Amino acid sequence: MFNDFKKLQCFIALAEELHFARAAERLFMTQPPLSRQIRLLEEATGVRLFERNSRLVRLTEAGTFFLQSARQMVAIAEQSVDTARRIQSGHAGRVTLGFTAVSGYYLVPELLARAQQALPGIEIVLKEMVTSEQVDALQSGALALALMRPTIAAQPGLIHHRYHREPMLLALPDSHPLAQQAQILPEHLRQQPMITYAPNEGRYFYEMTLEIMADVSPQPIFVQHISQTHSIMALVSRGFGMALVPASARYLGISGVAFRPLWPDARQAETWIAWREQAGSAAEERLREFIVGELG
Amino acid sequence: MFNDFKKLQCFIALAEELHFARAAERLFMTQPPLSRQIRLLEEATGVRLFERNSRLVRLTEAGTFFLQSARQMVAIAEQSVDTARRIQSGHAGRVTLGFTAVSGYYLVPELLARAQQALPGIEIVLKEMVTSEQVDALQSGALALALMRPTIAAQPGLIHHRYHREPMLLALPDSHPLAQQAQILPEHLRQQPMITYAPNEGRYFYEMTLEIMADVSPQPIFVQHISQTHSIMALVSRGFGMALVPASARYLGISGVAFRPLWPDARQAETWIAWREQAGSAAEERLREFIVGELG
DNA sequence: TTTCCTTACGCCTATCGTAAGCATA
DNA sequence: TATGCTTACGATAGGCGTAAGGAAA
């Protein structure tokens, strides 16, 4: 095998010029070393690349093929160095972003659009997972950024910012009489059937539902415990009860469900953006800075 | 930019081993020059490829990307040399084969199948053209091989072999009374409407038709002069007359046309395989030898 | 005789291996 | 103290340029 790119450059120049003196000039060298490089390349590969005599230089069939490969190798050499530099400086790269299913329909497309415009070289790879999975994935390095619900316990080594705040809404079948109310008050919910989140996988909304419902007396009747918002919405649409869901659940687009705002001081839901203390790549760091700037 | 493949090999080995001593051993060298090669590669590219201290070696984000490119370049280097050698020896390559439309339906598929099995590395590119175009293309180098009809004048610099011989058949509408004859005799064709080939583009069959029809007296009535067999067949199927065509015209699959053999000593049609005296590539030469061997 | 590719040779740069240096567990 | 990456240095191989050689128009 041949050993250096110099030989490839010589070969390409000669293949294009088909004239040693002109090719050598293009390579800023004299003819004899060019002649030698070509001979060495032919010896190293065991392939006659040019038919030549003192009057004529012509590519062989094998040389014509090899020209394509030589150009490819040189092109990869140039591009890869350029791209590697851009990765090092944070102007290119791939960043994985985790998100919860509901935020995927509302926050993620908007964030993606703004980020891709501001940082066009950075590719954002999306992974949908629930909050607890996101925390693990951040700590293992499988995720760089996470759009997730707040966690009760502070997670060591992780940083978070409040990314978004939205009201909780009452989701109920649109045929239900309460769907006519402009605003829901605690007394409306007395002893109503209420679907709520599972206390482990959907802990944040489970606790939030209990807290908001503390104002209702006597309490509603909790009929199901479900981990994911879209499953809850499906049950609501089929008349199994009502539920408290974050406002972005509207974007799930499930038909037959009405959404009504709660009384004014009812607690709101937050979405956090979180990451490890030290960034895994420069691109990740630039994307973080962009997001923090946007939060401003 | 970096200048040699040695550095890439060093980089790949270290990226895979993540340990200078082991990587150096794999490269049949000692650690210090490996260390130097890596440093030189990093300086030449301007990219920090490894995070390292005296206890730990780890790829950076940019280094991880660059590893892919390095592997690509080395793979191309190896494969391209191998392929170039095979082209040089005639075990790989591309050969263009010209053929006339009618032989395309019969001779070409069979030839292709046998050649591809015997010479699997050689790719055969097909180009359909009439005989006179094939002669020009052979001489200009645009074609390597040609399956064509005989030419009257010997073509300088070209070699041909008889590749195939087939009888001429009478093509006629299947509703015609003569379609019931097991064999056509000269007297059957007296003063029948006869579609024939054009004297310039379809010269071989034009002259053959005249020669065969010389036995018929009084002569048939020549109603059209057409250059391509499939056009002639279309006119026959629509009742415009009958025609003498090579037996392989059956494979055109035009409905409503019957084919009947002529009297026993009627002249037969030949197909030639032709090429330039000197081959343009080793693959071409090997394919020629294969074809001549098959002709026996 | 001119053109143009190749061979010959001295100079210089670059890589190798050995040996010493130095940081970390 | 042991491990393991880096620096130092002399020896060697390989590339460049200049100059001479040789084949074809």
Residue B200 has what pLDDT?
A: 85
State yes or no: pLDDT of B67 exceeds 90: yes
State yes or no: pLDDT of A185 exceeds 90: yes
Measuring from the CA of residue A53 to each C1', which nucleotide is nearest?
Answer: C5
Cis peptide before A218 (omega within 30 of 0): yes
What is the DSSP-derived secondary structure letter of residue B19?
A: -
State yes or no: pLDDT of A104 exceeds 80: no
Helix (H) and strand (E) counts in chain B: 10, 11
**Residue A173 confidence class, pLDDT cut points 50, 70, 90:** very high
- Give residue A68's identity as a one-letter amino acid code: Q
Average pLDDT over residues B159-173: 96
- Could you give the percent of chain A with pLDDT greater than 90? 80
Cis peptide before B199 (omega within 30 of 0): no
Q: Which residues face A244 on adjacent strands?
A: A170
Question: 3-class DSSP state for residue B130?
Answer: coil
Rounded to 10 degrees, what is the CA torsion of B173, B175, B176, B182?
A: 90
Residue bearing the bigger pLDDT, B103 or B183: B183
Strand D footprint at Cβ < 7 Å?
Answer: A 4, 6, 28-30, 32-33, 36-37, 40, 53-55; B 19-21, 31-32, 35-36, 38-39, 52-55, 57
Q: What is the CATH number of domain A167-267?
A: 3.40.190.10
State yes or no: pLDDT of A227 exceeds 90: no
Using alpha carbons, select from B177, B208, B181, B211 the residue that is nearest to residue B192.
B177
**DSSP per position, B61-99:** HHHHHHHHHHHHHHHHHHHHHHHHHHHHHTSSEEEEEEE
Tokens of B207: 């002259």
Query: Largest alpha-carbon pair distance within chain B?
Result: 105
Domains A2-89 and A167-267 share a fold: no
Chain B residue at shortest CA distance from A281: B61
Using alpha carbons, select from A128, A76, A139 the residue that is nearest to residue A102.
A128
| C1' (C25) to CA (B57) span, angstroms | 15
Give chain B positions within 8 Å (CB) of A87.
Answer: 61-62, 65
Distance (Å, rounded) from C-alpha A170 to C-alpha A156? 35
| Number of neighbours of residue B283 by Cβ within 10 angstroms | 26
For the domain made up of A2-89, the CATH class stated in words is: mainly alpha
Query: Could you report the per-residue pLDDT of A12-62, keeping only the tens digit for each?
Result: 999 999 999 999 999 999 899 999 999 999 999 999 999 988 778 899 999
- A94 Cα to chain B: minimum distance (Å): 9
Average pLDDT over residues B245-255: 92
Distance (Å, rounded) from C-alpha A54 to C-alpha A60? 16
The answer for residues whose C-beta is within 8 angstroms of residue B39's C-beta and 6 or more apart is none
Q: What phi and psi, each to the nearest 5 degrees, are found at residue B58?
A: -145, 140
Distance (Å, rounded) from C-alpha A151 to C-alpha A131? 8
Q: Are strands A243-246 and A158-173 parallel, antiparallel or unpaired?
A: antiparallel
Q: Which residue do the tokens 């956090």 mark?
A: A272
The chain B residues in contact with chain A (CB within 8 A) are 1-6, 45-49, 60-63, 65-66, 69-70, 72-73, 76-81, 83-85, 87-88, 93, 280-283
Q: What phi and psi, each to the nearest 5 degrees, are found at residue B147?
A: -100, 105
Distance (Å, rounded) from C-alpha B189 to C-alpha B181? 12
Distance (Å, rounded) from C-alpha B204 to C-alpha B152? 8
Using alpha carbons, select from B166, B285, B199, B178 the residue that is nearest to residue B242.
B178
Distance (Å, rounded) from C-alpha B6 to C-alpha B56? 23
- Could you give the percent of chain B with pLDDT greater than 70? 100
| C1' (D7) to CA (A214) span, angstroms | 72
Average pLDDT over residues A205-227: 92
The answer for residues whose C-beta is within 8 angstroms of residue A67's C-beta and 6 or more apart is A11, A12, A15, A59
- Could you give the percent of chain A with pLDDT greater than 70? 100
- A130 Cα to chain B: minimum distance (Å): 27
Contact A50, A14 (CB under 8 A): yes
The answer for residues whose C-beta is within 8 angstroms of residue A250's C-beta and 6 or more apart is A169, A259
Average pLDDT over residues B9-16: 93
Q: Which residue is nearest to nucleotide C3 (CA to C1')?
A: A55
- Residue B87 has its nearest CB partner, among A65, A76, A77, at A65
Contact B71, B12 (CB under 8 A): yes
| C1' (D14) to CA (A23) span, angstroms | 22
The average confidence (pLDDT) of chain B is: 92
| Number of neighbours of residue A9 by Cβ within 10 angstroms | 18
Distance of CA A215 to the CA centre of its chain: 40
Query: Could you report the per-residue pLDDT of A118-168, keeping only the tens digit for each?
Result: 999 999 999 999 898 999 999 988 999 999 999 877 788 899 999 999 999
Q: Are strands B243-246 and B158-173 parallel, antiparallel or unpaired?
A: antiparallel
State yes or no: pLDDT of B152 exceeds 90: no
CA distances from B7 to A78, A82, A220 (A): 15, 17, 71
Top residue of A67, A68, A87, A89 to mutate, by most chain B CBs within 10 Å, is A87
Q: What is the CATH number of domain B93-163+270-295?
A: 3.40.190.10
The average confidence (pLDDT) of chain A is: 92
B253: left (phi over 0), alpha (psi -120 to 50) or beta: left
Query: Could you report the per-residue pLDDT of B191-206, keeping only the tens digit for each?
Result: 999 999 999 888 899 9
- Residue A93 has its nearest CB partner, among B6, B61, B280, at B61
Query: Could you report the per-residue pLDDT of A244-270, keeping only the tens digit for each?
Result: 999 999 998 889 999 999 999 999 999
Alpha helices in A178-281 (DSSP H): 203-213, 229-237
Tokens of B87: 């082209």
Q: Which residue is nearest to nucleotide D3 (CA to C1')?
A: B55
Distance (Å, rounded) from C-alpha B54 to C-alpha B36? 15
Long-range Cβ contact pairs of B123-127 (< 8 A, separation 24 or more) = B123/B93, B123/B94, B123/B95, B124/B94, B124/B95, B124/B96, B124/B97, B124/B287, B125/B94, B125/B95, B125/B96, B125/B97, B126/B96, B126/B97, B126/B98, B126/B99, B127/B96, B127/B97, B127/B98, B127/B99
| C1' (D6) to CA (B24) span, angstroms | 15
Alpha helices in chain B (DSSP H): 5-17, 20-26, 31-45, 61-89, 101-104, 107-118, 131-140, 203-213, 229-237, 282-295
Contact A251, A160 (CB under 8 A): no
Residue A136 has what pLDDT?
A: 93
Contact A255, A220 (CB under 8 A): no
Q: Write down the domain spans for chain A.
A: 2-89, 93-163+270-295, 167-267
User: How does A144-164 read in b/e, with b if 16+ C-beta sit within 10 Å?
Assistant: bbbbbbbbeeeeeebebeebb
Residue B262 has what pLDDT?
A: 96
A251: left (phi over 0), alpha (psi -120 to 50) or beta: alpha
| C1' (D19) to CA (A32) span, angstroms | 11
Contact A164, A148 (CB under 8 A): no
Number of A/B CB contacts below 8 angstroms equals 112
The answer for residues whose C-beta is within 8 angstroms of residue B43's C-beta and 6 or more apart is none
The reply to whether residue A65 touches residue B80, judged by beta carbons under 8 angstroms, is: yes
